[in-house]
Amino acid sequence: MGMHLAVVGGGVIGLSAAWSCARAGWRVTLLDPAPCSGASWVAGGMLAPVTETWPGEEDLLELGVASVRDWASFAADLERDSGLGAGLRAEGTVVAATGSGDRAELDTLAEHLARLGRPVQRLSGRELRRLEPAIGPDVRGGLSVPDDLAVDNRTLLDALLVACSRAGVVLERRAATAVLDDGERVTGVRCADRADRADGADGPDVHADAVLVAAGAHSSSLHPSLDGLVRPVKGEILRLTRRAGALAPPSRTVRALVDGRPVYAVPRDAPGHGDLVVGATTSENGFDTEVTVGGVRDLLRDAERILPGIAEYALTESAAGLRPGSRDNLPLIGATGPDGLFVATGHGRNGMLLAPVTAAAVVALVDRKPVPDVVRPADPARFALSGATAAEGS
Ligand code: GLY
């Protein structure tokens, strides 16, 4: 019997890692009271390292570019193993700007990318409308970024769950409450006895040779070595469905700046998944997942400035998810705390994008092999010193 890995968290990162480790020969148990829910279920699904980039986040850009490059083969493997579509869309992304301030902001982004050797194509409003007739007359210019892709997050999660099951991953629908160790090594995971409550009686512990914490925004409470490393960053998102007579949605992801506020619209084509996902707000209110009136109003107002035809669509879903935010926006992928404890969390806005590169890195980590160079900056050890300093100062 192979070595036993317990994976805590059934979102895109936990499922991708569990599936990949099972394929690599590990006996895997996945712990989640409600797999495929949470932030991964709510997500917009952009695979957008370039259009999500920010000056000062070059390590994250490199990691994202490596992962988007791996996405096609990740999707092909997943489709082969699950027998289902992976939901990858290869149409690319455009970015639109309305006023002169927004256009200046996009110029700054384009110049930054050119300095990094990643030039993007600048387009006039008319050129953007030629590519995407759904874009309205308020848009005066923008960018084309054909290598920023998208995935239907719900199609992807369905395929990952089936691939995990076919690869022999055992799913336990219970909430993990703590990673257990004997002072030197991990020994397993303590879990609630039932799926529907994490605060009731403990059930039997899950014993394991190695534990991967991939519990998104909930990761920090599971072991003292993870304390304070991840915080919840709320995002509200809408799903719109085209009604008879309404204009067709765009075929690409359309991102935009509207009077300085970012908004995006990602097309979908799977039945029942809506035709357009519009997102997303950003706020920090602890573990609050209520959708606010102001959030819905802002998203609809800004999206309609860019895509006026959506006024005739039905608003079929609103939801909020908790992005797992790290202190420097880079994820945490590596070993931490007692021997045998690994972490893959803190992916912030980029969980879907970074799933392939994270899953491959986790296989290397649990097999005690070096991770690819591009993943090294994500080692949680980077916070060991600053964590100690913060604790001393408090
Ligand atoms: N990746 C988009 C978002 O987090 O809203």
Checking if the pLDDT of 2 tops 60, the result is: yes
Nearest CA to ligand 1 atom 2: 349
pLDDT of residue 271: 82
pLDDT of residue 392: 38
**Residue 282 CA: which ligand 1 atom is closest?**
5
Between CA 190 and CA 205 the distance in angstroms is: 5
Between CA 320 and CA 351 the distance in angstroms is: 15
Distance 144 CA to ligand 1 centre (A): 19
pLDDT of residue 200: 64
Distance 250 CA to ligand 1 centre (A): 19
pLDDT of residue 117: 86
pLDDT of residue 197: 57
Give the model confidence (pLDDT) of 105-145 as tens digits. Answer: 999 989 988 888 888 899 999 999 999 999 999 999 999 99
Nearest Cα residue to 46 out of 92, 107, 105, 77: 92
Give the model confidence (pLDDT) of 103-113 as tens digits. Answer: 999 999 899 88
Mutate to test the pocket of ligand 1, among 50, 349, 354 (most ligand atoms within 8 A of CB): 349
Backbone φ/ψ region at 346: left (φ over 0), alpha (ψ -120 to 50), beta: left
Buried b (16+ CB within 10 A) or exposed e, 4-30: bbbbbbbbbbbbbbbbbbbbbebbbbb
- The residues spanned by each domain of the chain are 4-41+155-229+328-393, 93-146+231-325
pLDDT of residue 202: 76
pLDDT of residue 130: 96
Give the model confidence (pLDDT) of 54-96 as tens digits. Answer: 888 999 999 999 999 999 999 999 999 999 999 999 999 999 9
The whole-number average pLDDT for the span 315-334 is 97
Centre a 10 Å sphere on the Cβ of residue 256 and count the other Cβ atoms it contains: 25
The whole-number average pLDDT for the span 268-279 is 90
Identify the H or E element spanning 96: strand 93-97
The whole-number average pLDDT for the span 39-52 is 95
- Amino acid of residue 217: A
Between CA 47 and CA 357 the distance in angstroms is: 12
Nearest CA to ligand 1 atom 1: 349
CATH 3.50.50.60 assigned to domain 4-41+155-229+328-393? The reply is yes
Between CA 308 and CA 320 the distance in angstroms is: 24
CB distance 360 to 20 below 8 Å:
yes
CATH homologous superfamily of 93-146+231-325: D-Amino Acid Oxidase, subunit A, domain 2 (3.30.9.10)
**Residue 46 CA: which ligand 1 atom is closest?**
1
**Residue 353 CA: which ligand 1 atom is closest?**
1
Ligand 1 site, CB within 6 A:
44, 46, 235, 279-280, 323, 349
Nearest CA to ligand 1 atom 4: 349
Between CA 41 and CA 154 the distance in angstroms is: 6
The whole-number average pLDDT for the span 9-28 is 98
The whole-number average pLDDT for the span 307-323 is 98
Distance 83 CA to ligand 1 centre (A): 28
**Residue 235 CA: which ligand 1 atom is closest?**
5
pLDDT of residue 165: 98
pLDDT of residue 199: 62
Q: What mean pLDDT is reported for the chain?
A: 93
Please state the length of the chain: 394
User: Which contacts qualify for 345-349: CB closer than 8 Å, 24 or more apart?
Assistant: 345/9, 345/13, 345/213, 345/214, 345/215, 345/216, 345/219, 345/229, 345/230, 346/219, 346/229, 346/230, 347/13, 347/216, 347/323, 348/233, 348/323, 348/324, 349/52, 349/235, 349/323
181 - beta bridge partners? 186
Structure tokens at 142: 């923008």
pLDDT of residue 1: 65
Mutate to test the pocket of ligand 1, among 234, 323, 352, 353 (most ligand atoms within 8 A of CB): 323
Between CA 18 and CA 7 the distance in angstroms is: 7
Nearest Cα residue to 376 out of 365, 385, 386, 388: 365
Distance 337 CA to ligand 1 centre (A): 30
Give the model confidence (pLDDT) of 347-373 as tens digits. Answer: 999 999 999 999 999 999 999 999 999
pLDDT of residue 71: 98
Q: Reduced to 3 states, what is the DSSP secondary structure of residue 95? A: strand
pLDDT of residue 152: 98
**Residue 323 CA: which ligand 1 atom is closest?**
4
**Residue 280 CA: which ligand 1 atom is closest?**
5
Nearest CA to ligand 1 atom 5: 280
Structure tokens at 370: 């070096």
Distance 223 CA to ligand 1 centre (A): 27
Nearest Cα residue to 240 out of 327, 162, 313, 164: 313
Give the model confidence (pLDDT) of 228-273 as tens digits. Answer: 999 999 999 999 999 999 999 999 999 999 999 999 999 999 888 8
- Amino acid of residue 194: R
Q: Work out the pLDDT band at 391, boundaries 50, 70, 90.
A: very low
| % of the chain residues with pLDDT over 70 | 95
**Residue 48 CA: which ligand 1 atom is closest?**
1
